[in-house]
Structure 1
Amino acid sequence: MEIALQVFGICLVLGVIIGFLAGLLGIGGGLISVPALLHILPLVGVSHDFLPHVAIATSLAAIILTGLSSTRSHHKRDNIPWYLFKPMLPGFVLGSLSSGFISENISANALQQSFAIFVILMAIQMVFPFKGQAQRHLPSSVLLFMTAVVVAIIAGLMGIGGSVLLVPFLTFFGLQMRYAIGFSAASGLLIALFGSVGYVIAGWNVYGLPQFTLGYIYIPALLGIVVSSIFIAPIGAKRASTWPTGVLKKMFALLLVIIGFKLVFTG
């Protein structure tokens, strides 16, 4: 119990960092929380065999509350093209629910190194952001459904909300940036919600997980991250208009590259 409280306290501090950077740079918390949790969770006895699974599942669950707040804010500003959910919602549900079960069939080392490579690619994307083409049109409903499945699976496996994948895809096909971001926020909430359910079910009867886990989700770490991040994120968002976010993004991208390579060679 004492160690669980220590992890809760550490994750309170982690949540401050996640919330501030998420608000300041507009990044998903999973890029920060998963590498941090990979170092924190062994304190409570999470074995290497389950470590990436628990870190990713806990990160994904933490996105639910932050995603709810973000979705509400975008809805008030009419930034969410709800019509896109008709073809894509079934794909989000299918892909996100599947991610927890797919992760069970991936070794801990492979999952950790896959996340590391993903982090490096996201760092490159932060420095060289993708720019869409306004003259293109959105693809067919079938392709939108298939894209939703793939995005949800990758997001679930990486412990992220999926906006880093959806925003470039939607802007590539000409959707205005504010609508792409708003739709991605709402989609990220759904991916996190159903993905977390998948991880709970997949890890329900797994032997060897520490006390206070719900499936693969470690509750004290989840609470620590959420409690602090939801209060700090608005502060970061306010600073985004006055701080040199372009420079900060490049510095953070460099940090992500270092983290990514460290995870690759310690997997």
Structure 2
Amino acid sequence: MAEMQILLTKHRKRATPEQSTVTAPASMEFFVSLYLLLAVCGCVTGVTTVLFGFGGGFVVVPLLYRLLSTPNAPSSAVGQSAMQIAVATSTCVMVFGALLATWRHQRAGTVDWTNVRPLVGPIGAGAVLGALAATVVQSEWLRWAFAAYLVLTILDCWLRPGFLAQPAAKQHRPGPLANALSGLVIGWVAALLGVGGSVMTVPLMRRRGIEMTRATAMANPLSLPVALAGTGTYIVLSTQSPLPLGEWHLGYIDIRAAAVLVAGSWIGIRAASLWIGRIPDRVHAKVYLGLLIVVFLAMVTT
């Protein structure tokens, strides 16, 4: 990461005063390093998707925001939309990751569809509302909203009983209204921040008495409606934006970055699938919480 920061700094210094409102010309060295870093990030995303249920947003959003905002002037089209591009690209990559990880968990028999089905529709509806909200919120506000939500989630998982401890044998199943309200909130927050919803669904399933392997497995099919609704909404709404983002963009989605991330994610998911069901429950929960803390620190220091 230190080497990448040096490259980004050199790249930005190439801009002349006359270029202060546009993106500086990019070198081949910059692009090669950028896509290598994205490929590694994709592999990490694949691992976190299949083992911990978060489909890339916690890794992809902070990284893409940094890579987009550093070499591009704040007044440029990409600079002004850096967070929206990061979130939209994250939801696009999430479609692939959620599908493949769900298939892997289905083969392992770890997906409890009786808990998944009641949440799919409400989460999809909430995701559309969240994506709509994200297109009108300034990038910097969205970034700090992301960080604030991470803090709340970390504190909730750490302090509220039922996450770190082994869940009770008896599972609690809420009624239709509770599922609908939970799904709407999860979908709205997930699409707004581009995080897939696992940050809410995994703690929710833990409080219902479900072990970590199944809780993280169910986060993947529940991320799919967020990814589909969010991606589609970003594509449609970006056509109304006056800011031209240039080639290789489908709406707010950076197609080249998404392709590299998907390729890396496929490798990570295949490798991590060998560990499904093999991690002790308490260790699984602690590592999940530790990863949230690492991502928060990365986000606030960007």
Secondary structure of 1:53 counterpart: helix
Which range is displaced more, 125-134 or 88-97? Answer: 125-134
Superposed CA RMSD? 3.3
Q: Does 1:61 align with 2:92?
A: yes
1:31 is matched with 58
- Whether the aligned pair in 1 keeps the contact of 2:55 and 2:97 (CA below 8 Å) is no
Q: Does 1:204 align with 2:239?
A: yes
Secondary structure of 2:204 counterpart: helix
How far 1:94 moved relative to its partner? 0.8
Superposed, 1:178-257 pairs within 5 Å as 178-208=213-243, 209-238=245-274, 252-257=291-296
Q: With CA pairs under 8 Å and 6+ residues apart, which has the higher RCO, 1 or 2?
A: 1
Query: Percent same amino acid among aligned pairs?
Result: 21
How far 1:212 moved relative to its partner? 1.4
What is the alpha-carbon distance in structure 1 between the residues aligned to residue 214 and residue 284 of structure 2? 22
Which range is displaced more, 111-120 or 124-133? Answer: 124-133
How far 1:189 moved relative to its partner? 1.7
- Whether the aligned pair in 2 keeps the contact of 1:74 and 1:80 (CA below 8 Å) is yes
Secondary structure of 1:106 counterpart: coil
What is the alpha-carbon distance in structure 2 between the residues aligned to residue 100 and residue 33 of structure 1? 17
Q: Does 1:141 align with 2:176?
A: yes
1:16 is matched with 43
Q: Which has the larger radius of gyration?
A: 2
Which range is displaced more, 14-23 or 87-96? Answer: 14-23
2:20 is matched with none
Superposed, 1:51-200 pairs within 5 Å as 51-123=82-154, 129-131=163-165, 132=167, 135=170, 137-200=172-235
How far 1:198 moved relative to its partner? 1.3
What is the alpha-carbon distance in structure 1 between the residues aligned to residue 229 and residue 103 of structure 2? 18
- Whether the aligned pair in 2 keeps the contact of 1:28 and 1:160 (CA below 8 Å) is yes
The amino acid across from 1:70 in the alignment is: A
How far 1:197 moved relative to its partner? 0.9
Gap change, CA 1:90 and 1:33, over 3 Å in 2: same
Gap change, CA 1:8 and 1:260, over 3 Å in 2: closer
How far 1:163 moved relative to its partner? 1.7
Q: Kindly provide the CA deviation profile for residues 120-173 of structure 1, in whole angstroms up to 9, marking residues without a partner as x.
A: 445556767455555563221012011111101111111112122112212313
Q: Kindly provide the CA deviation profile for residues 26-85 of structure 1, in whole angstroms up to 9, marking residues without a partner as x.
A: 654211111100111244765332111110111111111111111112222333333445
The count of residues paired between Structure 1 and Structure 2 equals: 263
Q: Kindly provide the CA deviation profile for residues 218-258 of structure 1, in whole angstroms up to 9, marking residues without a partner as x.
A: 1111111111121123334547969x878866764553342
Q: Normalization by structure 1: what TM-score?
A: 0.81
- Whether the aligned pair in 1 keeps the contact of 2:164 and 2:285 (CA below 8 Å) is no
What are structure 2's unaligned runs of at least 5 residues?
1-24
Gap change, CA 1:247 and 1:146, over 3 Å in 2: closer
What is the alpha-carbon distance in structure 2 between the residues aligned to residue 172 and residue 250 of structure 1? 15
Secondary structure of 1:47 counterpart: helix
Gap change, CA 1:141 and 1:249, over 3 Å in 2: closer
Q: Which of 68, 86, 92 is the aligned partner of 1:41?
A: 68
Which range is displaced more, 59-68 or 99-108? Answer: 99-108
Which range is displaced more, 5-14 or 189-198? Answer: 5-14
Which range is displaced more, 190-199 or 120-129? Answer: 120-129
Which range is displaced more, 202-211 or 159-168? Answer: 202-211
Gap change, CA 1:258 and 1:213, over 3 Å in 2: same
Q: Kindly provide the CA deviation profile for residues 90-125 of structure 1, in whole angstroms up to 9, marking residues without a partner as x.
A: 212211122221112222221110012223445556
